[in-house]
Amino acid sequence: MLASLKNGYLELSIRSKFQLWFLPLLIITSGSIGFFSYKTASDQVLQKVSQAQDNISSQTISHLDYLAKDIYDIYNYLSLSSELHDLLSPEPNFNSGIIVNNMINRLLSTRQFFQSLLIFSEGFPTIKYNSLNNNEIISFKDYKKSEIYRDTVNAVVKGAWGVEEGSFKLFIGDERRKVFYSKVLVNPGNFNKEGLLVIGMTEADFRQSFGRAKDNVEIVVVNGDGTILSDSGGKWSGRSFSELPYYDHRGIEQVNWNEHDDEWLISHSSSEVTGWHVLVIQPRTEELMQLNSIRWLTIGFVLLILLINAPISWTISRLFLKPLKKILKSMREVQAGDFNQQVDVKLRDEIGQLGKGYNIMVSKIRELIQDVYKSELSKKESELRLLQSQINPHFLYNTLNSITWMSYREGADKTAEMIQKLSDFFRYNLSQGADIITLEKEITIVENYLYLSKIRFADKLTYSIEVDERLAETPIPKLILQPIVENAVVHGIEPSDEQGYIHVKVSLSGESLLIVVTDNGIGIVPETLAKLRNSIQAKANPSSIEEEGSFALRNVRDRLYHHFEEGVEIDIVSRRNVGTTVKMLIPIRKSDEARGDCDV
C-alpha cells in the first residue's frame, strides 16, 4: 500500500503536486474581494466628482453668458444712440462729443469688469476709454491687419471675441493681456457701417468673473475658433486649443466631447450665446487618493494570508527544490569546464524528465567538444604543415651561396648578385626557426623579393619602401608583409600591360604599426573584392578557396589574430584598372622579443 502510494506520488505532475499541497484560492479570493471593493468605491467617487464638475462648468457658462450679454447690451445701447452716429458723421455736432463721452463713462463705471472701450472710424479720430492707464492705443490701420478684425468684418451680426496674442496689443506698452469683444457699428437709420466698437477687460478680471477653482481643478474657456480666452491658472490664455495635453493635442474641431480619458476627469459645457466651450479638468489619480484606505486594507489582508502560508509553502517547496538544486549545482560545474557531470534524480515527473534530459545534453556537449577539438587540432596542423612547406631547408640557400661565389669567379656578376639576393631571401625566411623577428628583417625579406621580381620583369616593375627608422627594432610575427607584396606583384602587376609600381609604407599610428601596400595593377572586380573582404573579415575560414590571393591574406590574418588576439585590423580597397591598397594595423607589444638570427 505504501509503495503504491509512493509510486503514485512520483507519477504526479508538478502542477498536481502544488495543487495537492497549496491553497492559492484563498489569496485569489481575498484579492478579488479587495479589487472589486476598490473598483466599486472608485466608480462612485468618480461619478460624484464628475457631477460636481458638470455643475461647475454649467455655472461658469451661466456667469460668462451674463458677462457677454452685458457687453451686448452696451453695444446695443451705443449703436442706437443718435449722438454717437452724429459724432461719427462727416459734420458732427459739438455737443454730440460731450454727450457720448458722458454716456460711455456712465456705462463703464457701473460695470466692474469692463475697463476699456474703443471706437474706430475712418472719418473720425478714435474714441478711447481706458480706466487702467492712459497708454497710446493701436492705430486703426494696424488693427485692420489683425485676425480679430477679419473675424469681426465676417461676422457683422454677431461680432467676434478675441484675446491679445504675441505682439498684438490694444494699448501699446500695457503688458496685461486683454479679452475683448469687437463688432461693426451700423447706423440703424441707413444701415451704413460707420466704425468698429471694441469693449475689453484684462484677462485676470475675465478670469475672476467665472470664479476660482480648487487647487487641483483647472477651468479653461475656449473661443469657438479654438483660441483659449482664459483659464483658472492663467497659463493657457492666447494659445491654441491644440496645445492642451488633455485631448492629445488635437484641434477643437476633431474632439469628441463624449470621450473619457483614463488620466483626466473632464467636464464640458458650451454656450449658445457666445459659442464658447468651458472645460473643467482635474487629475483622476488625485481624486482616488481618498480610497487608499481600502487599497491598503486589501493589501494587508493579502499579506496576512501570505505570512500564514509562507512557512508551510517553504517547507513543502523544499521537496521540489532539492532535485532542482542538484541540477543547478551540476550546471555550475559544467560552466566551470567539467563536462563529466551527471545528476541522479529519482522522480519520474517533469523534474525527473528535466534531469534525464540534462544528463543527455551534457553527454552530447562533451562529445561535440571532443569532435570540435579534434577537428580544430587537425586543421591547425594542416595549416602549419602548409606554412612550413613554403620554407626551404638550410642547404638550399647554402648551395645558392656556393653558386654565387662560382659566378663571381667566372665573371657573371649580375647572375651572382641575383643568386645572392635569392639566398638572402631564403635565409631571412628561415630566421633560425624564429616566429618573431624585427621589422627591419621583415623589410629586408620584402626588399630581396622585390629586387628579384624587378629583375624578372625588367623595366616593367618599380618600387619604393618607406619605413619610420624608429620602428626598425619593433618585433612582429615573421612573414606578414612579404605575402601581401607577393600578391601585389603576381595578381596586380604581372597581368597588367602598363608600367607597374609598388609602394610599401610602415608608420606609427598611436600604439600600433600601420602597414600600407599600394600597387597600380589591374585591380579587383567588385564582386571578387566583396568576397575577398568577407573572407578576410570572417572569424572562421571558408571551406573552399575561390578568390585568387585570398589564401595568403587569410594566412596572415590568422597568424596575426593568433598572436595578438585583438587590436588587429586588415582592410583592402581596390578599383579596376586603377590599383589595390592593403592596410594592416598591428599592435606593438613591448614584451615580444625578436627571436632568431639571420646569420647561418
- Indicate whether 406 belongs to any domain: no
Spell out the SS3 assignment of 47-97: HHHHHHHHHHHHHHHHHHHHHHHHHHHHHHHHHCCHHHHHHCCCCCCHHHH
Q: Which of 547, 532, 540 is nearest to 582 (CA)?
A: 532
Reported as type and span, the H/E element at residue 420 is helix 413-430
15 CB-near residues (< 8 Å, 6+ apart): none
Residues facing 220 on adjacent strands: 231, 279
3-state secondary structure 91-150: CCCHHHHHHHHHHHHHHHHCCCCCCEEEEECCCCCCEEEECCCCCCECCHHHHCCCHHHH
The number of domains in the chain is 3
**Do 270 and 364 belong to one domain?**
no
Contact 278, 208 (CB under 8 A): no
**Predicted local confidence at residue 257, as pLDDT:** 81
Residues 380 and 455 in one domain: no
- Of 249, 264, 286, the position where a domain reaches its end is 286
Let me know: does 45 contact 288? Beta carbons within 8 Å: yes
Is residue 279 located within the same domain as residue 353? no
In a domain, 108, yes or no: no
Reduced to 3 states (helix: H, G, I; strand: E, B; else coil), residue 231 is: strand
Q: Are residues 279 and 357 in the same domain?
A: no
**Residue where a domain stops, chosen among 263, 286, 309:** 286
Q: What is the CATH number of the domain that holds 494?
A: 3.30.565.10
> How many other C-beta atoms are found inside a 10 Å radius of the C-beta of residue 197?
23
| Residue at 134 is within a domain | no
Q: How far apart are CA 183 and CA 162, in angstroms?
A: 11
d(CA 431, CA 242) in angstroms, rounded, equals 81
Domain match, 385 and 477 both? no
**Which cell is 195 given?**
466704425
Which phi and psi (to 5°) does residue 333 adopt?
A: -65, -40
Q: Is residue 27 part of a domain?
A: no
Would you give per-residue pLDDT tens digits along the chain (600 residues)? 777 777 776 776 665 665 566 666 666 776 777 777 777 877 777 788 888 888 888 888 898 898 889 889 888 888 888 888 888 887 777 788 888 888 888 887 777 778 888 899 887 888 888 877 778 888 888 888 888 999 899 988 889 998 988 788 888 878 888 899 999 998 888 888 888 999 988 888 888 877 666 677 889 999 988 899 898 888 888 889 898 888 888 888 888 887 766 788 888 899 988 889 999 988 877 666 766 676 777 778 777 776 777 677 667 667 767 777 788 888 888 888 888 888 887 777 877 888 888 888 888 888 888 888 777 776 676 566 555 544 444 445 555 555 665 666 666 666 766 666 666 666 655 555 567 889 998 898 898 888 878 877 767 889 999 999 899 899 998 888 988 998 998 899 989 888 999 999 999 998 899 999 999 999 999 998 888 888 887 755 544 444 445 677 888 888 888 888 788 899 999 999 899 999 999 998 765 544 444 443
Q: Are 512 and 588 in contact (CB under 8 A)?
A: yes
129 falls within a domain: no
CATH number at residue 271: 3.30.450.20
Query: Do residue 364 and residue 244 come from a single domain?
Result: no
Same domain as 581, residue 472? yes
Q: Where are the strands (E) in 275-413, listed by range?
A: 277-283
Is residue 21 in some structural domain?
Answer: no
Residues 398, 400, 405: CA angle, nearest 5 degrees: 100
Same domain, 496 and 576: yes
> What integer pLDDT is reported at residue 403 of this predicted model?
63
Q: Is the dihedral of CA 20, 26, 27, 33 positive or negative?
A: positive
Question: In a 3-state reduction of DSSP, which class is residue 421?
Answer: helix
Same domain, 359 and 457: no
State the DSSP string of 483-506.
HHHHHIIIIIITT-SSPEEEEEEE
Cβ(547)–Cβ(514) below 8 Å: no
Q: Which of 230, 222, 228, 235 is nearest to 202 (CA)?
A: 230
pLDDT at 598: 40
Residues 243, 361, single domain; the answer is no
User: Is residue 473, in this structure, part of any structural domain at all?
Assistant: yes
Would you say residue 194 lies in a domain?
no
Note down the domain range covering 385: 339-389
Give buried/exposed letters for 318-339 (b at 16+ CB in 10 A, else e). eebeebeebbeebeeebeeeee
Do residues 580 and 460 share a domain? yes
Q: Please list, residue by residue across 92-106, b when 16 or more beta carbons sit within 10 angstroms of its beta carbon and e when fewer do.
A: beeebbebbeeebee
Spatial separation of the C-alpha atoms in residues 212 and 232, rounded to whole Å:
6
Q: Are residues 493 and 375 in the same domain?
A: no
Q: Count CA within 13 A, CB hemisphere, residue 4.
A: 1
Q: Please give the helix or strand (H or E) that residue 573 lies within, else none.
A: strand 569-575
Q: Nearest 5°: phi and psi at 212?
A: -100, 130
DSSP 578: T
* Domain-terminating residue out of 242, 260, 286: 286
As given in the structure block, the three cell numbers for residue 417 are 648578385
